[in-house]
Structure 1
Amino acid sequence: MTTLLFLPTIDLGWRWLRVADTGAIHGDEGLPALEDAIVAIAPAESVTLHWADLPARSTAQAVAAARLLVAEASAAPIAELHIAVGPEGEGDRAIAVVDRGAMAGWLADLAAHGIDPQMVIPAPLLLPRPVEGYVHGTIAGTGMMRGRATAFADDPLLTPLVVGDVPVESLTGEALDDALRAAVAAPPLDLRQGAFARRRRIGIDWAHVRRLGTMAAAILLVTLSIDLVRIAKYSFGADALEARAEALGRTGLARGETVTDVDRQLVERLSNVRGPGLGFTTTAAAVYAAIRATPGTELTGLDFQPNGDLRLSVAAARESLPTDLKRALERAGFTVEAGVFQAANGRVTGEMTVTRR
């Protein structure tokens, strides 16, 4: 047995219709007894309905696509709207748009009366979707219209403008009851999605929890054993590599030199070979790269100092080029001190001192 509970509006209070398992339908005003499954019915004037062809991969993807469509058609900020999509079917899917504040208020009012509805369905979707034209029905005192791609509250002023000359079928009596039974059996759309989804109570199977704990402990023990074996293997391998590296390092030292610390002695010998600072080769390579990157400049002199500085004699075609060369060297990671450049015979000449930064 399912009870359809119609949320109150400005003109109407609480109303309900009860659909029995036998198919019988009866209702009344006020709040029903709470022993049945409750399905809340949102007012037609508070929900905007659309239909569109949405991705069928997952509900999250469908909602994301619906948000893009609604953002283009709605004047309200998308962050203030709650969007729900109907189930997959043939062709397009229903999209319901409702104000987040209104949705939260409905659920809060229901909770205050001890009601946690299984679903919240927009009222116009209780009517069947026609093959063509429109269907009209009055349910729980509210008139509603539904077409192939629209559904809304019946209004004596707006409905004729929307419907125009399209034929309208009025559902009454048993035909309307059949429509309600079909909506209960296969709900067309549930607004309780996303942030407003119904929370499910989960019972704890402690025996299952203990089994999971035992399995987790066994997995942890096996993982720890694997890690210990791996650490031991890496440690032995590191020792072997260190011994081999030291043996290879000894070959790089001068013949007959007493070995005390291979790393330090190799660094010392490398420094002696390449010179102080970054060494002549590295510094000169950076200077030549900067010269090539600055067209119109040429190197006329090069003097590597005992402290690792490199003194350059530079000639340039224009006054701006020595500055460009200086910036290029600084971008390469050097400190550059430029002397006074003089112009003579159409050339600008001067000196620079390049130092490791």
Structure 2
Amino acid sequence: MIRWLAFLDGDDGHWLRLDDDLVTARGAGLPAVADGDTVIAVVPGTAVVLHWVELPLLAPAQALAAAQLLAADVSGAPIADVHVAIGTADAEGFRPMALADRGTMAGWLAQLAAAGLDPDRIVPLPLLLQVPAREDAVTLLAAWGHDHARGSRLAFSAEPALTPLLIGDRSVESSDLAHFEAGLAAALATVPIDLRQGEFARVQAWRVDRRQGRRIALTLAAALALWIIGDVAVLFRNSIAADRAEQQLADAARAVLPRGTAIDAPRAQVAARLASLGGAGQGLTGLVAPLLAVLQGRPTATLQSLGYTPDTGLTALVAAPGADDGQAIAAGLAAAGVEARVGSPRDDNGISVVDVVVRPR
């Protein structure tokens, strides 16, 4: 496994190459890496403030929101200018919280991008030091013009004059660059925080391997098949509904036309019948329309026969098996603005029917 550590200390920085656990190359500036190699940017601890905070078990977004509230209390800069990152919890529920200037973060990424690098992680330098076995001790590395310290829930880089104040009464275990480099692989495996979060998170390129491609193709094919089947089902239902409507129209035509008339064009035949009965004016049509509208709203009621004279008005025989069909028909016709009389239900060859007379008001 090849990993490149790009140290952003000073104007040009320097780099180390790790092959598995060993440093195999080093150089000034920023490295030129091959596709697929892991790049870890190591940023100065002097530009990152690290705190350990106790947070309950929360979803990542909730934990970050809680950390931002805590950061507002400890940051000397306006929180809008501060990038807040939250790390993994230790055994007692304490998490590292890193604070860095947003402009500085953007500058680091711009510097790396100019060298063709998009780091997988961004790690503060002091977190790459080994944590001493004793909780009251601190590992101290003096390098690159600063002291770098790491202890239990403690990590910082500072001017040498400030180090005693920050360490307090903890005992010091001194380190050097050789020990630092020898422990990098172990430190990278346990580093508890990555600054590439929130607006600075790495955008992952979506790559589809052959197996994923087959799964996606099968899923799309299944979705297309379901879509086609759905359309066919809709067409089938519409066809059935159209056939049913044509049958209902033919049945209504039989009720209007003289007995024995062959039905081949229901609409035209009914129109001709209406004209012969005086329906060219508003007399018949003004009475038939409300009756048919009322019957359409009563699925249990069906038209059996229909007659019309200008003197008596519209007479209809309606099969009305429902107990309240007659009353509903009368109420519907009255609401439509015509005068209607609905007779009492009577039996007609085993079918409950009512006589309906409709006149204009």
Equivalence for 1:41: 42
State the distance in 2 between where 1:78 and 1:245 align: 72
1:217 maps onto 2:224 in alignment: yes
Query: Does the Cα contact within 8 Å between 1:25 and 1:177 map onto a contact in 2?
Result: no
Q: Report the more deviating stretch, 110-119 or 58-67.
A: 58-67
What SS does the corresponding residue of 1:201 show, helix, strand or coil? coil
State the distance in 1 between where 2:156 and 2:121 align: 19
Equivalence for 1:329: none
1:194 maps onto 2:198 in alignment: yes
Shift of 1:120: 0.6
Query: Does the Cα contact within 8 Å between 1:6 and 1:14 map onto a contact in 2?
Result: yes
Equivalence for 2:170: 166
1:278-316 alpha-carbon deviations (Å, 9 max, x no partner) = xxxxxxxxxxxxxxxxxxxxxxxxxxxxxxxxxxxxxxx
* Greater C-alpha Rg: 2
Structure-to-structure mapping, 1:143-292, within 5 angstroms: 143-172=147-176, 174-204=178-208, 207-224=214-231, 242-243=297-298, 248=324, 251=327, 260=333, 262=335
Determine which of 107, 120, 125 is the counterpart of 1:105: 107
Equivalence for 1:301: none
Query: Does the C-alpha gap of structure 1 residues 223 and 48 become closer, same or farther in structure 2, counting only changes over 3 Å?
Result: farther
> How many positions carry a matched residue from both structures?
258
State the distance in 1 between where 2:214 and 2:136 align: 57
Equivalent AA in structure 2 for residue 251 of structure 1: Q
Shift of 1:173: 5.5
1:57-84 alpha-carbon deviations (Å, 9 max, x no partner) = 4322321221121122223332322221
1:194-226 alpha-carbon deviations (Å, 9 max, x no partner) = 221212222345544432221112232455567
Query: Does the C-alpha gap of structure 1 residues 69 and 224 become closer, same or farther in structure 2, counting only changes over 3 Å?
Result: farther
1:80-100 alpha-carbon deviations (Å, 9 max, x no partner) = 222212234422121111122
Query: Does the C-alpha gap of structure 1 residues 251 and 6 become closer, same or farther in structure 2, counting only changes over 3 Å?
Result: same
1:316-355 alpha-carbon deviations (Å, 9 max, x no partner) = xxxxxxxxxxxxxxxxxxxxxxxxxxxxxxxxxxxxxxxx
Query: Does the Cα contact within 8 Å between 1:145 and 1:153 map onto a contact in 2?
Result: yes
TM-score (norm 2): 0.60
Shift of 1:141: 5.6
Shift of 1:50: 1.0
Identity %: 36
Query: Does the Cα contact within 8 Å between 1:250 and 1:262 map onto a contact in 2?
Result: no
Equivalence for 2:118: 116
Query: Does the Cα contact within 8 Å between 1:249 and 1:263 map onto a contact in 2?
Result: no
Query: Does the Cα contact within 8 Å between 1:46 and 1:98 map onto a contact in 2?
Result: yes
State the distance in 2 between where 1:29 and 1:128 align: 24
Equivalence for 2:69: 68
What SS does the corresponding residue of 2:159 show, helix, strand or coil? coil
Query: Does the C-alpha gap of structure 1 residues 261 and 89 become closer, same or farther in structure 2, counting only changes over 3 Å?
Result: farther
User: Unaligned 5+ residue runs, structure 1?
Assistant: 267-357
TM-score (norm 1): 0.61
State the distance in 2 between where 1:14 and 1:258 align: 92
Q: Which portions of structure 1, spanning 4 or more consecutive aligned residues, are displaced by more than 6 angstroms?
A: 225-233, 244-247
Equivalence for 2:19: 20
Query: Does the Cα contact within 8 Å between 1:2 and 1:184 map onto a contact in 2?
Result: no
**RMSD value over aligned CA atoms?**
3.6
Equivalent AA in structure 2 for residue 120 of structure 1: I
Shift of 1:114: 0.7
User: Unaligned 5+ residue runs, structure 2?
Assistant: 246-293, 302-321, 340-361
